Amino acid sequence: MQLGTRWAAGGEPPASVPRALVPAIREAEAQVDEAAHWTLTWLEGRPIAELDAGWEVTLDADGEPVVEPFDLED
């Protein structure tokens, strides 16, 4: 079992955040003008970092990072 974590946007991601996600996390943070926090969770062994300002960073099947906005109204 892997536990998730939370941290402030713009801060240093915790060691549990896969290094492959960090450039994509910085990319998403550049889109946000407000204070926000990340939440790292794991689904079926894959990391999912969600920025509470409306961005999600995951790894695709090839291990490449994917940055996507999500609808906060859902």
pLDDT in tens, the chain (74 residues): 577 899 999 999 999 999 999 999 999 999 998 899 999 999 988 999 999 999 999 999 999 999 999 876 65
Whole-model pTM? 0.87
Burial 6-31 (b: 16+ CB within 10 A, else e): ebebeeebeeebeeebeebbeebbee
